[in-house]
Amino acid sequence: MIPSPPLSLAAESAAESAVDPGFSWGDLLLQLLLATLGGWLFARWQVPVAWLLGPMALGILYSLVRGSLLGVASPPLPPVLIMGGRSLLGLVAASRFSPETLGFAATYALPLLLCIGLASGLSLINGYLLWRWASLDRPTAFLSAIPGASFGMVAMSEEMGADAIAVTLLQYLRVLMVASLVPNLAHWLFQADTPPAALSPGATLPLDLPTALLLPLCMALGIGLGRVLRLPASGFLGTLVVALVVFSLWSQPVAIPPPLFGAGLLAVGLSIGLRFQWAALRTLIKAVLVDVGLILVLILCCLAIAYGFHQVTQVSTMTAVLGFTPGGLEAMVATVIELGGNTGLVLAMQMTRMFTILLIGPGLVAWLVRRTAPPGSNGGS
């Protein structure tokens, strides 16, 4: 029986709400200190999206050192911090969103959907190759390769007979590679044409009392709405929806203080880095090595698809590249904000891809498993 996306998203919300029995304030303080150090160092070295990539890098280092030296898994960030970080990025995205971009995206709906279908087809080929080359079972291989909505694929994995640990590791390996490589690539390709936006964690903006009360209210309502509607990336998308409505009704433009942007990037980057555990990496090393090569090829193919979309629609190349990146929604939003691109259009493209995958992903994977299974087998090996 194929699970519906809402049930899987409910499972994700329940997992994020659970309290980790191994939680320690000392561990949390050390993780946050390392993440802050990573963000500060990357900012000094002028690495693009420094407050996302720096905490991510130090989170990976902390997780791997703890796993290899102490033999224990790194505790994840408390769910409230992860949700809060996603929600802060939702606020920033809403403050940079232009409603006209939705109409623009609708104008090019046909080439957009065609490009999404092409990118998804390439990802399914990656899943097939993972099954053939990495000794993974079919459900695990296909669920690991589907781009975007990684939390939904992880939540669906056990119900579809896949290895949840392998799906989690390979899905977040893709997110990690995309979030690490694409911002640097975009910065290198487009910084000469598009100067970075003024919004950066090191700057300051005035924040009056009404706005200071408005922002946490939007976050609380957005997180609640995301959970009630069982949205994917509920903290980010729920806050985005609420903030878009509230900001459009507000009497003056809402400016999000850059330190809040930096805090959101830090929480999201650190949470990604801490997901990579040494024990899982060791047992799945063959699949990881194969997947790294396949992800690099997929990123290059998505760049080609983005360039084709740019040629057809005349959308800027940077917007097309970030819009068709296979995953890493929060990282792509952070990148387009920092480089001063069209945040609204990138959001529209990424969200169209995400919801399309959530709607058709489970049924498509189940069909592919049946199609690739030899006669007389149960389709799981």
Q: In this structure, are residues 41 and 27 in contact, taking their beta carbons and an 8 Å threshold?
A: no
Please tell me the predicted confidence (pLDDT) of residue 7.
Answer: 36
3-class DSSP state of 371? helix
Please tell me the predicted confidence (pLDDT) of residue 271.
Answer: 87
Q: Would you say the C-alpha torsion 155, 158, 161, 164 has a positive or negative sign?
A: positive
Please tell me the predicted confidence (pLDDT) of residue 200.
Answer: 40
Please tell me the predicted confidence (pLDDT) of residue 358.
Answer: 63
Give the burial string for 250-280 (b: 16+ CB within 10 Å, else e): eeeebebbbebbbbbbbbbbbbbbbbbbbeb
Q: Name the stretches of the chain with pLDDT < 50.
A: 1-19, 21, 192-205, 381
Please tell me the predicted confidence (pLDDT) of residue 369.
Answer: 75
Q: Which run of H or E residues covers position 363?
A: helix 343-372
Q: List pLDDT tens digits, range 19-72.
A: 454 568 888 999 999 999 999 999 898 776 789 888 988 998 998 888 777 767
Cβ neighbour number for residue 110 with a 10 Å cutoff? 9
pTM here? Answer: 0.69
Please tell me the predicted confidence (pLDDT) of residue 244.
Answer: 85
Cβ neighbour number for residue 72 with a 10 Å cutoff? 12
Please tell me the predicted confidence (pLDDT) of residue 98.
Answer: 66
Q: Report d(CA 147, CA 153) in Å as an integer.
A: 9
Please tell me the predicted confidence (pLDDT) of residue 156.
Answer: 61
Please tell me the predicted confidence (pLDDT) of residue 155.
Answer: 55
Q: Which CA distances in Å does 51 have to 237, 259, 321, 334?
A: 21, 10, 21, 10
